[in-house]
């Protein structure tokens, strides 16, 4: 498990108009990812930066993206809106997981969770069906929301889902049949898509009263088209006796028993079931994670967003809290912030709380990624390396790349067809330079050629034949 301050990296939720930002282009592929601008100010963890930019990003760069610390693209997935792109463990093997689907204006989504192995082969596609009600009564292929896709130690998947329902909102000055969003979570068996446990916030209304919501009911909110989002579930993780969930609009985390009952609540406003010690407050939070749980207590880490498009509480911070079940206290252990740059990038802090890396992938609020991760990852794609040959006056420039391959470090060009070892001759070589490597051949080779990606002298991949 990675230290928490690497996983609790920046979350950008605001999305304004498109703004100027530079995108990369290549000759060996049509990818156009947004440039990642990295400011490294210390020693980072090994691994890559995982992002899923959307919003102001041009369509060609809206995908699951992996970059290295030197600002090079490493992997670009299919063009789609994604969230929570990261490495997790499934059956003791590292896998890539991400949500992809449609995002609604009011900040939730309908989609599926994709699970890829170390060759980027999709080994599981997790979906959720059910009698869900949507703003326009349309049916969806899958109702998994974008906020969470967490693989549990028992190799199941925890996801969030939102359901529209009419409910009595007179306790918060609404009508007796207003439309609202219920927050659900589901634990799903990955190979079969079978639901093994499910939960609804509205079914626990006695313990989670609507009157504790910080989301105000007003204007035209409360219709089917514009439902009231009382809870806004955005994180779940397993605990010894059940689950820990984050309800962003309640400024609270809840320990939910396996049987669905609320065991306790920690509130960022007033502590909830605990007495706040030190600055243990938070608001509009994301990404709650549990560490070191015992019968006496646990450590809770979270991303204290503290902002919405219409409400500014305080600067955004990363927060670590100790919950003591015996003394009934919640104590601040650590708070991370960057006074020089409060928003707009992914940030990594070391164990002493020093900022060691900021990475920006768009301008201001024009572009967003729901969570950003530092993950170790080693992959040999199931597809082959590719190359593009452009003739020069007397020779040719050969552009080579291998999307997603993490481990190769040099290239060799051979004349001849890849299945013809007798007539194949090495005509060029170079060390890897980021995503795409160019070799300038000073005389025009005979067509076709093929290229080989190696780690040292070990061949990892061979292209098809390239005719020109």
**Site for ligand NAG contains 4 (CB under 6 A):** yes
Asked if 397 interacts with ligand NAG (CB under 6 A), we say yes
The whole-angstrom separation of Cα 5 and Cα 336 is 8
Pair 256, 183: CB distance under 8 Å: no
What sign does the CA torsion over 134, 135, 136, 140 have?
Answer: negative
Cβ distance to ligand NAG smaller for residue 92 or 173? 173
Stretch that binds ligand NAG, among 91-99, 127-135, 231-239, 369-377 (CB under 6 A): 127-135
- d(CA 103, CA 109) in angstroms, rounded, equals 4
Closest to 392 measured CA to CA, from 428, 443, 356: 443
Identify which range of 119-127, 257-265, 273-281, 367-375 contacts ligand NAG by CB under 6 A.
Answer: 257-265
Q: 20 vs 131, which CB is nearer to ligand NAG?
A: 131
If one counts every other C-beta atom within 10 angstroms of the C-beta of residue 409, the result is 11
Q: Quick check: 132 binds ligand NAG (CB under 6 A)?
A: yes
* Mode of pairing for the β-strands spanning 233-238 and 386-391: unpaired
Q: How far is the CB of 402 from ligand NAG (least distance, A)?
A: 15
Give Cα separations from 12 to 133, 138, 417 (angstroms): 28, 29, 48
Residue among 340, 443, 457, 467 that touches ligand NAG (CB under 6 A): 340
Q: Least Å distance between CB 420 and ligand NAG?
A: 5
User: Is residue 172 at the binding interface for ligand NAG, with CB under 6 A as the rule?
Assistant: yes
Residue in the block written with tokens 């979570």 = 185
For 72-148, where are the E strands, in sequence order?
A: 73-79, 82-90, 93-103, 109-116, 122-126
Residue recorded with tokens 């002493």: 352
Cα 457 from Cα 419, distance rounded (Å)? 19
Site string for ligand NAG, 353-392 (x = CB under 6 A): --x--------------------------------x-x-x
Least distance to ligand NAG, CB of residue 221, Å:
12
Structure-derived torsion over alpha carbons of residues 375, 411, 37, 374, reported in degrees to the nearest 10: 0
Does residue number 117 form part of the binding site for ligand NAG (CB under 6 A)?
A: no
Rule CB under 6 A: choose which of 22, 131, 326, 457 binds ligand NAG.
131
Specify whether the CB–CB gap between 387 and 463 falls below 8 A: yes
Per-residue binding letters, 78-97, with ligand NAG (x by CB under 6 A): --------------------
Q: Tokens at residue 206, please? A: 């006695």
Q: Does 188 bind ligand NAG (CB under 6 A)?
A: no
Whole-number minimum distance, CB 455 to ligand NAG, in Å?
Answer: 11
CA–CA separation, 137 vs 334, rounded Å?
45
Q: Which of 89, 102, 141, 420 lies at the binding interface for ligand NAG (CB under 6 A)?
A: 420
Q: Which is nearer to ligand NAG, 130 or 278 (CB)?
A: 130
Please state the closest distance from residue 435 (CB atom) to ligand NAG, in A. Answer: 10
Q: Does the footprint of ligand NAG cover residue 224 (CB under 6 A)?
A: yes
Question: How far, in Å, CA of 133 to CA of 130, rounded?
Answer: 9
Handedness of CA 377, 379, 381, 382 (dihedral sign): negative
Instruction: Return the ∠ at Cα 27 (arms to 26 and 32), rounded to 5°.
Output: 30
- Candidates 324, 338, 363, 364: give the one binding ligand NAG (CB under 6 A): 338
Least distance from C-beta 53 to ligand NAG, angstroms? 19
Contact positions toward ligand NAG, by CB under 6 A?
4, 25-27, 39, 41, 130-133, 136-137, 163, 165, 172-173, 224, 257, 259, 261, 291-292, 299, 338, 340, 355, 388, 390, 392, 397, 417, 419-420, 431, 440, 442
């Amino acid at each position: 498990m990675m230290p928490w301050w690497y996983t609790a990296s920046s979350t950008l939720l605001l999305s304004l108009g498109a703004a100027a930002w530079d995108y990369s282009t290549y000759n060996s592929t049509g990818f156009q990812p947004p440039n990642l601008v990295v400011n490294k100010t210390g020693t980072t963890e090994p691994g890559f930066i995982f992002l899923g930019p959307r919003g102001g990003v041009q369509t060609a760069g809206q995908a699951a993206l992996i970059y290295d610390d030197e600002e090079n693209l490493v992997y670009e997935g299919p063009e789609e809106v994604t969230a929570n792109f990261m490495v997790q463990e499934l059956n003791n093997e590292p896998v890539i997981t991400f949500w992809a689907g449609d995002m609604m204006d009011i900040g939730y989504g309908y989609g599926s969770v994709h699970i890829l192995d170390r060759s980027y082969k999709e080994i599981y596609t997790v979906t959720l069906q059910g009698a869900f009600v949507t703003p326009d009564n349309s049916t969806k292929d899958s109702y998994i929301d974008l906020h969470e896709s967490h693989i549990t130690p028992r190799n199941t998947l925890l996801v969030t889902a939102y359901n529209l329902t009419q409910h009595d909102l007179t306790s918060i000055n609404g009508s007796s049949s207003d439309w609202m969003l219920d927050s659900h979570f589901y634990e799903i068996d990955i190979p079969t898509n079978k639901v093994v446990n499910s939960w609804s916030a509205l079914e626990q209304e006695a313990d989670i009263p609507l009157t504790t919501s910080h989301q105000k009911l007003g204007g035209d909110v409360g219709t089917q088209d514009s439902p009231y989002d009382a809870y806004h579930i955005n994180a779940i993780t397993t605990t010894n006796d059940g689950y820990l969930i984050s309800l962003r609009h309640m400024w609270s985390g809840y320990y939910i028993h396996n049987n669905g009952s609320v065991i306790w609540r920690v509130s960022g406003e007033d502590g909830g079931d605990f007495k706040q010690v030190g600055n243990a407050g938070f608001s509009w939070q994301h990404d709650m994670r549990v560490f070191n749980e015992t019968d006496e207590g646990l450590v809770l880490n979270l991303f204290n967003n503290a902002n919405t498009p219409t409400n500014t509480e305080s600067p955004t911070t990363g927060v670590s809290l100790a919950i003591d079940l015996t003394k009934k206290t919640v104590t601040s252990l650590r708070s991370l912030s960057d006074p020089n740059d409060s928003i707009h990038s992914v940030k990594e802090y070391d164990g002493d709380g020093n900022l060691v890396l900021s990475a920006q992938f768009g301008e201001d609020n024009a572009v967003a990624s729901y969570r950003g991760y530092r993950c170790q990852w080693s992959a040999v794609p199931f597809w082959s390396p590719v190359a593009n040959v452009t003739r020069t006056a007397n020779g040719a420039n050969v552009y080579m790349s291998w999307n997603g391959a993490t481990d190769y470090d040099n290239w060799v060009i051979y004349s001849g067809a890849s299945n013809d070892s007798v007539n194949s001759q090495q005509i060029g070589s170079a060390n890897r330079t980021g995503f795409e490597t160019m070799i300038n051949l000073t005389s025009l080779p005979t067509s076709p050629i093929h290229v080989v990606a190696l780690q040292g002298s070990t061949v990892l991949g061979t292209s098809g034949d390239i005719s020109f």
